[in-house]
Amino acid sequence: MKDDPVNDDRRWLDEPRNVDRVVRGLYVLCALVFLADLLYTKDPHFGIENTFGFYALYGFLGSVTLVLVAKELRRVLMRPEDYYERSGDDD
């Protein structure tokens, strides 16, 4: 009963081949959106906004910065696993 589709609990993303397809598809989609910057005229408020791919690069760098700052902030805010369970006064 190994090939029984009713008892098979594997999902389509359990296959490494499908994960690779999704990642490649995202790469292609990002490249197309990046290249779409050539297809319209801009009305920039600042001069740097007229640079090719500015908004894509700005968003990417902003996201990376946000993740790195959050990673460091986690060290400051993190509490031990039993932080709320510890109690020295309730005994």
Taking the chain (91 residues) in runs of 10, the rounded mean pLDDT of each run is: 65 93 96 90 91 91 97 92 74 48
Answer yes or no: is 89 within a domain. no
Answer yes or no: is 67 within a domain. yes
Domains in the chain: how many in total?
Answer: 1
What's the predicted TM-score (pTM) here?
Answer: 0.62
Answer yes or no: is 50 within a domain. yes
Rounded Cα gap, residues 50 and 45, in angstroms: 9
Answer yes or no: is 3 within a domain. no
Amino acid 67: pLDDT: 97
Answer yes or no: is 43 within a domain. yes
Answer yes or no: is 84 within a domain. no
Answer yes or no: is 39 within a domain. yes
Domain around 24 = 12-77
Amino acid 70: pLDDT: 96
Answer yes or no: is 59 within a domain. yes
Structure tokens that stand for 73 in this block: 């902030």
Amino acid 6: pLDDT: 62
Q: At what angle do helices 54-77 and 16-35 cross, to 10 degrees?
A: 130
